[in-house]
Amino acid sequence: MTRYVLRRLGQSALTLVLVSIVVFVGVRAMPGDTARALAGEETTPKALEAIRQEYGLDQNIAVQYGRYVENAVTGDLGTSARTGLPVVDGIFDALPVTLELALLSLLLAVVVGIGAGVIAAVRRGRPAEWVANTVALLGLSIPNFWLGIVLILGLAIAVPVFAASGFVPFGDDPLENLRRMVLPVVVLGSGLAAVVMRQTRAAMLESLSADYVRTARSKGLAPHQVIGTHALRNSLVTVVTVLGLQLGHLISGAVVTEQIFVLPGFGKLMIDAVFTRDYAMVQGVVLFTATGYILVNLAVDLLYSVIDPRIRLGGAQ
Amino acid sequence: MSTVTEAAGSTGGTPGTAPDDGTGGAPPRPRRLLRQLRRNRLAFAGAVIAVVFIVAALAAPLIAPYDPARTDFGSALAPPGWSHWLGTDDLGRDQLSRIIHGARASMQVGVLAVALAFVVGVPLGLVAGYYGRFADSLVSRITDTLLAFPFLVLAVGLAAVLGPSLLNATIAIGVSLVPQVIRVMRAETLRLKHLDYVGAAIASGGSDGTVLARHILPNAASALLVQATVGVPTAIIGEALLSFLGLGVQPPEPSLGVMLSSAQPYIAAAPWMAVFPGLAIVAATLAFNLFGDGLRDVLDPRGVTR
């Protein structure tokens, strides 16, 4: 187990290096003068010179990369051309909003998705399956940004139950915070719940028709034991993989959701940065997101090996 | 729909072969497949809507009642009526015509992005799962690196570097679908290669190519189909999403996403501007999802024998 964990850590470190190279090269592949791009609106010769100094743009590319990594590791991701504040500050201001949105949506997706998936598989051919399948299909087919617009139209404008936009920190007013988070969480979580439900159902159907489940049944185990201990546990491997893969969609979805509900999170930071040509911010946010993604993925893979020992043992050979 | 089967078939060279996991499901021939699909009413409805959508995309200039770019300020923000079935937008452009033309961008991205993902992902997944060791490590690092850039982050990065365009949006969506295809293909290969019949095929002297193409790939078909099923509508939604954010199709070119984005300021005054393009996206994605589900039910013998 230790060996597997170490191996996995090494892999993540390698991926991190690859990601940093991609981001580094990406920003330097931009047409035109990198310093000019990083400076944004402010383009006095003096400012450009300061940027060249800061990023070492007058030196060779390897030195530049070295300095870039050194800065990034010490928490210096440059200065936002738009606000003049450090990029890191912008990121940490936006992070709690996005984390709350993402975690609540994930919770919604897992509870609803796995529950509905198991019910749909166990009640195959009955109305419950039909309902679960239909709702999941709608969840998959309705784009979250449109769902957001429709929910605002229905539940914020026509019948003003929830707020259409704005964010209140949880610390200031927990109830108001949650009230404002309901619509964004439904928008972000519903698509994910649909994916989780479909994968759970598919995996459960496969498990339920497997020999070991028949054996468990013929041993006389209670249905909930067969379903919970045998079928669901084996199905979870697929579900966790898919959930891990969906984290990217969760991040992407958060970007849009924040844009629609005007939440001051990570996604809004990123989109605003692109349209104000704040390249230092784009670079910082992309690198930060990618790093976060790698770490979460590492956690998912370790979880994966706990659920299915075959993976751990196979990986340690 | 044809994209799904073509994408899955082109990579394996064994189209129309059913997965055979030893439960005795006979390989459905195209005609039998059609007959079974027709019996599944939802899947059939999905196929019909998908075909309508594809035809609308292909023949847009022929069937659209108006020029999608023609502005008519005299009838701006007109509600749905006889002259404009789905109303007009803030510039008096006909919504129906813009939706029909917008379907083109959707289909283009849907087909190209999924094709890109399968062409890249299936071979990589097969190789990684079958050969293991170095090949697996290499493919895994590629996957992890790609995965580390969620598609919107990737699209934002591409838009920042290359400028926003439909092509860059397609690349971002296609690339973002690759890891999922690789992972599923790899996982299926890992699962299948330890089964007895694959061992038997290897023992009886089957070459790697034969084993991969005849024994592993066809049995992974249902899993790949799930991915393609999710892929086309995902790409359609992705295009609308990127265009909605201003990172895909650029106005005044018609796109369902662009329409939704320009509808936002008028949401209370002219809700039809937001409702119809959204319904078009839902109809298209729902159609492809339903058809894909039906196809999977037919192709998956486990589902039939149960």
3 state SS for A163-182: CCCCCCCCCCCHHHHHHHHH
pLDDT greater than 50 at residue B138: yes
Q: Does B152 sit within 8 Å of A256, measured CB to CB?
A: yes
pLDDT tier, B118 (very low <50, low <70, confident <90, very high otherwise) = very high
Shortest alpha-carbon distance between residue B204 and chain A (Å): 25
Chain A residues within an 8 Å CB radius of B159: 274
Q: Which of residues 28-67 of B touch A (CB under 8 A)?
A: none
Residue B223 has pLDDT above 60, yes or no: yes
Residues of A in contact with B285 (CB under 8 A): 140-143
Asked whether residue B5 carries a pLDDT value surpassing 80, the answer given is no
Judge whether residue B92 has pLDDT over 50.
Answer: yes
B88 beta partners: B94
> CB-based contact (8 Å) between B130 and chain A?
no
What's the pLDDT band for B33 if we cut at 50, 70, 90? low
With cut-offs at 50, 70 and 90, classify the pLDDT of residue A105. Answer: very high
Q: What pLDDT does residue B119 have?
A: 92
Q: Say whether B247 and A145 touch across the interface (CB within 8 A).
A: no
pLDDT digits (tens, 9 = 90+) for A39-72: 666 667 777 777 777 777 777 778 888 888 888 8
The distance of A11 to chain B (nearest Cα, Å) reads: 7
* Beta carbons of A289 and B151 less than 8 Å apart: no
Residue A99 pLDDT more than 70?
yes
Rounded average pLDDT over A193-218: 84
Taking the mean position of all CA atoms in its chain, how far away is CA B15? 18
What pLDDT sits at residue B113?
Answer: 92
Amino acid of residue B90: D
> What is the mean predicted confidence (pLDDT) over A275-287?
83
Q: How confident is the model at residue B280 (pLDDT cuts 50, 70, 90)?
A: very high
Q: Closest residue of B to A31, CA-based?
A: B161
Residue numbers of A between 166 and 205 with CB closer than 8 Å to B: 195, 198, 202, 205
A235 or B243, which is more confident: B243
Task: Please tell me if residue A313 touches chain B, with a CB cutoff of 8 Å.
Answer: no
Chain A residue with minimal CA distance to B256? A146
Long-range contact list for B27-31, CB < 8 A, 24+ apart?
B28/B298, B28/B299
Secondary structure, 3-state, A171-211: CCCHHHHHHHHHHHHHHHHHHHHHHHHHHHHHHHHHHHCCH
With a pLDDT cut of 90, the percent of chain A lying above it is 3
List the structure tokens of A202. Answer: 């598919």
Q: With CB atoms and an 8 Å threshold, state whether A294 touches B183.
A: no
B305 contacts in chain A (CB < 8 Å): 209
Cβ atoms of A93 and A266 within 8 Å: the answer is no
How far does the CA of residue A173 sit from the closest CA of chain B (Å)? Answer: 29
Q: Which two tokens stand for residue A49?
A: 């010179």
Out of A153, A267, A314, closest to residue B271 by CB? A153
What was the pLDDT predicted at B23? 39
Which helix (H) or strand (E) segment holds residue B17: the answer is: none
How far off is chain A from B129, nearest CA to CA, in Å?
Answer: 12
Segment A232-248 mean pLDDT:
76
Q: Identify whether the C-beta of residue A72 lies closer than 8 Å to the C-beta of residue A66.
A: no
Q: Does A294 touch chain B (CB under 8 A)?
A: yes
Closest-CA distance of chain A to residue B263, Å: 10
Contacts within 8 Å (CB) and 24+ apart, B90-96: B90/B262, B90/B265, B90/B266, B90/B270, B90/B273, B93/B66, B93/B68, B93/B69, B94/B64, B94/B65, B94/B66, B94/B68, B94/B70, B95/B259, B95/B272, B95/B273, B95/B276, B95/B277, B96/B64, B96/B65, B96/B66, B96/B276
* Contact at CB, A140 and B152, closer than 8 angstroms: no
Cβ–Cβ contact A135 with B under 8 A: no
- Closest chain B residue to A284 measured between Cα atoms? B157
In this predicted model, which residue has the larger pLDDT, B31 or B240?
A: B240
- A-chain residue closest to B289, CA distance: A137
| Count of A-B CB contacts under 8 Å | 156
- The distance from CA A189 to its chain's CA centroid, rounded to whole angstroms, is 11
Residues B282 and A81: their CA atoms lie apart, in Å, by: 39
| CB contact (8 A) between residue B151 and residue A271 | no
Q: What CA–CA distance (Å, rounded) separates B244 from B213?
A: 41
CA–CA distances in Å: residue A110 to residues A113, A196, A198, A238: 5, 7, 12, 13
User: DSSP string spanning chain A?
Assistant: -HHHHHHHHHHHHHHHHHHHHHHHHHHHTSSS-HHHHHHTT---HHHHHHHHHHHTTTS-HHHHHHHHHHHHHTT---B-TTTSSBHHHHHHHHHHHHHHHHHHHHHHHHHHHHHHHHHHHHTTTSHHHHHHHHHHHHHHHS-HHHHHHHHIIIIIIIS-SS-SS----TTT-HHHHHHHHHHHHHHHHHHHHHHHHHHHHHHHHHHHTSHHHHHHHHTT--HHHIIIIIIIHHHHHHHHHHHHHHHHHHHHHHHHHHHHHT--SHHHHHHHHHHTT-HHHHHHHHHHHHHHHHHHHHHHHHHHHHH-HHHHHHHT-
Least confident residue range of A11-25, A238-252, A259-273, B42-56: A238-252
Sign of the CA dihedral with B262 first, then B267, B269, and B270 last: positive
Residue B94 DSSP code: B
CB interface of B with A, residues 209-248, below 8 Å: 226, 230, 233, 237, 240-241, 244-247
Please report the residues numbered 285 through 304 in chain B whose beta carbons come closer than 8 angstroms to any beta carbon of chain A.
285-286, 289-290, 293, 302-303
> Which residue of chain A has the CA closest to B306?
A209
Tell me the average pLDDT of chain A: 81
pTM over 0.90: no
C-alpha of A21 from chain center: 21
Q: What residues are paired with A79 via a beta bridge?
A: A86
Put simply, whether A26 touches B (Cβ < 8 Å) is: yes
Q: Is the Cβ–Cβ distance between A109 and A192 less than 8 Å? A: yes
A12 CB neighbours in chain B (<8 A) are 144
Q: Helix or strand or coil: residue B200?
A: helix
Q: Which percentage of chain B shows pLDDT scores above 90? A: 8
Per-residue pLDDT, averaged over A144-170, amounts to 79
* Banded model confidence at residue B121, pLDDT cuts 50, 70, 90: very high
Check residue B247 and give its pLDDT.
86
Of A29, A255, A294, Cβ closest to residue B152? A255
Look at B44 and B301; give whichever has higher pLDDT.
Answer: B44
Residue B113 to chain A, least CA–CA distance (Å): 16
What pLDDT, on the 0 to 100 scale, is given for residue A271? 85
Residues of A in contact with B282 (CB under 8 A): 138, 141-143, 146
The residue-averaged pLDDT of B60-79 equals: 80
Q: Between A137 and B287, whose confidence is greater?
A: B287
pLDDT in tens, B175-216: 888 988 898 888 888 888 888 888 888 888 778 888 888 888
- Put simply, the answer to whether B151 touches A29 (Cβ < 8 Å) is no
At B94, give phi and psi (nearest 5°).
-70, 120
Cis peptide preceding B19, ω within 30 of 0: no
| pLDDT band at residue A104 under the 50/70/90 scheme | very high
pLDDT digits (tens, 9 = 90+) for B228-275: 777 888 899 889 988 988 888 888 888 898 898 888 888 888 888 888
Point out the least confidently predicted range of A171-185, B1-15, B114-128: B1-15
Q: What is the pLDDT of residue A32?
A: 63
Q: With contact defined as beta carbons under 8 Å apart, do B302 and A209 qualify?
A: yes
